[in-house]
Structure formats: C-alpha cells, structure tokens
Amino acid sequence: MHYTKQVQVLLRRYFIQIQVQALNYLAKNVQAADMVVYVQNNLWAVPQFF
C-alpha cells in the first residue's frame, strides 16, 4: 500500500512537471498560445481536448 502511494505521488509530480513545461512552452510560442485561446473559445468543438 505504501509503495502504491509512493508511485501515485511520483506520477502526480511527473504530470505536474509536464504541465509546467507545457505552459512555459506556450508562453514562449505565440502561435501555440493563440491556438490555445482559439480552443478555449471553441470548447464545444473539441470537448474531449480538455
């Protein structure tokens, strides 16, 4: 049980790190950031994206 808990914590940190890296990339990439804004404004078109 302790091992499973430890794995979950590691996975959570790993995914958070990926999200942070993605946000940093989007901040540096204007074109990608514009795409994110477009997707957010048209969530009905791609509900499975988020």
CB 26 within 8 A of CB 36: yes
Helix pair 30-41, 2-28: axis angle to 10 deg:
110
Q: Which of 20, 38, 19 is nearest to 30 (CA)?
A: 38
pTM: 0.42
Tell me the domain boundaries of the chain: 2-41
Q: What does the alpha-carbon distance between residue 42 and residue 4 come to, in Å, rounded to a whole number?
A: 38
pLDDT digit string (tens) for 11-36?
Answer: 899 998 998 888 888 777 767 667 77
Q: What does the alpha-carbon distance between residue 18 and residue 37 come to, in Å, rounded to a whole number?
A: 20
pLDDT digit string (tens) for 36-48?
Answer: 788 777 766 555 5
